A and B are shown apart, each in its own frame.
Chain A
């Protein structure tokens, strides 16, 4: 069973639908026992970092996630879930879970594309991946594949070894991060068509032991 962590951070049904469509059993839950007993964890979320961390602590889920990292259970962070695993977020000046060293930065307000035109924030829409590292969850993906993003902040890991893929939007930012049994995407694989479903399927079959 795959636990999709529900911490009042947006509509998680789209992740559930995509995982079910791929033929894997999953449950949207905030129950500590269910999450602790699950085979793998998806940690999604949209919204603001401050409110999300408050909810995680109130529900006692911060320690459950940290324990799962130690236990070696496969974990997939998505969007806000990817930011929350860092040490600190500039959004609401939030102390986060400190699973990956580094912090979460806001896109600079005046970012421009190569041709000098102003780029809008949030970064919303389809964009590609570069510098894709060899990883079981990223297997089969290439630089022609695009993924659906909606975000104004991005993760900035201290150790470049934790960057598994990057994306260009005025700047180059880490759009896939991870180490050991955790991998996290700034984009929404559940809304990214074929390559997104392919990544989700890889995660659902990922053997970290």
Chain B
């Protein structure tokens, strides 16, 4: 039976990994290639890299990081952050990423999803969604609204409607980040995750709020997520991937135990 995936997420700025706490106060914690190797050997099922480099000129540093990661680990990894068009996607995929994730650019220009899926296949295209709870309304029926540009810009788009539309356009997977839960380590946004996951046929990766193994159990069962993103709880050594998988296994969640 298919295993639920545990996916460490590495934020990278100008070639160094950071961990953003609610998108602020980033601190340097290491070399992305070494961290990728570490998590690969520790039993991560996949890795996610977010390039948060602000300066456009320095963005090709990330391509070099992707190339070196691809030579080092032999599990899938995706790269997101600053992907604006099909050429950006191609550069990341040719450098060796398995998947590329689009977020703000897809909201502004949904065609990037269909063009990317046509050029590289749906399996390569991950839709990143940053979502905030704003209360149910006529305009936002699910109560969850899409936020772009690192949590700053609201466009009046309902998260559930956007997820369904993106799937139709050819997204192969959704990485669903709750702005409310992100950085709190108080647990994933279960309601949001289950609403999206139950209404699309593509896999959903839950993101934001992981602080302890119990949170992953909740989101992979009640939240109906297919995979769970983790960051601080492993980056600072509080838990190992083995700890998390052993716990999930004891709860009856199917995980990959041999690597």
Contact = CB atoms under 8 A, between A and B. Distances in A.
B172 A125 contact: no
Interface in B193-248: 201-203, 226-227
Given A46-B121, A150-B123, A126 B201 contact: no
Interface of B: 1-5, 40, 45, 70-71, 74-76, 93-94, 96, 98, 120-123, 172-173, 201-203, 226-227, 256-259
A105 interface: no
**Size band of the A side of the interface?**
35 or more
Contacts of A10: 120-121
A191 B71 contact: no
B123 A126 contact: no
A135 to B, nearest CB: 20
In order of increasing CB-CB distance, the 9 nearest A-B pairs are A144-B258, A126-B3, A126-B256, A150-B123, A146-B256, A127-B2, A191-B76, A125-B2, A193-B259
A122 to B, nearest CB: 7
A196 interface: yes
A120 B226 contact: yes
Contacts of B4: 125
Interface of A: 10-11, 13-14, 17-18, 21, 46-47, 113-114, 119-128, 144-146, 148-150, 168-169, 190-197
A194 B1 contact: no
B93 to A, nearest CB: 5
Most buried by A among B74, B172, B258: B74
Contact of B5 (A17, A126, A150, A168): A126
Contact of B40 (A14, A18, A126, A193): A193
B93 A11 contact: yes
B3 A146 contact: yes
Nearest to B1: A168
Contacts of B172: 122, 124
Contact of B227 (A125, A149, A192): A125
Given A190-B74, A193-B75, A125 B5 contact: yes
